[in-house]
Amino acid sequence: MLAYEADGGPTVRVLLGEPAPGEPLGPVEIARCAADPALPGLAPTLPPRPLVPVHGAPHMHQWLVDGSGRLGLVDFDRYALGEPELDVATFLVELETESPRAVAMAELAAATEAGFAAAGGRLDPDRLVLWTAHKRLAKVARTAAALRPDAEAKARAHLDRLDLAGLTAGPSAGPAGVIPR
Do residues 165 and 177 lie in contact, with contact meaning Cβ atoms separated by under 8 Å? yes
78 within a domain of the structure (yes/no): yes
Question: How is the chain split among helix, strand and coil, in percent rounded to 5?
Answer: 45, 10, 50
Do residues 94 and 79 lie in contact, with contact meaning Cβ atoms separated by under 8 Å? no
33 within a domain of the structure (yes/no): yes
Domain encompassing residue 111: 27-168
CATH code of the domain in which 89 resides: 3.90.1200.10
For 66-86, write each residue's pLDDT tens digit. Answer: 999 998 999 999 999 999 999
For 29-41, what is the mean pLDDT? 57
162 within a domain of the structure (yes/no): yes
87 within a domain of the structure (yes/no): yes
137 within a domain of the structure (yes/no): yes
- Report which secondary-structure segment, H or E, holds 134: helix 125-145
The CA R_g of the chain, rounded to the nearest whole Å, is 18
181 within a domain of the structure (yes/no): no
More confident residue, 68 or 99: 68
Mean pLDDT over all residues of the chain?
Answer: 73
**What is the total count of domains within the chain?**
1
53 within a domain of the structure (yes/no): yes
pLDDT at 113: 92
Confidence of residue 87 (pLDDT cuts 50, 70, 90): very high
Do residues 47 and 142 lie in contact, with contact meaning Cβ atoms separated by under 8 Å? no
144 within a domain of the structure (yes/no): yes
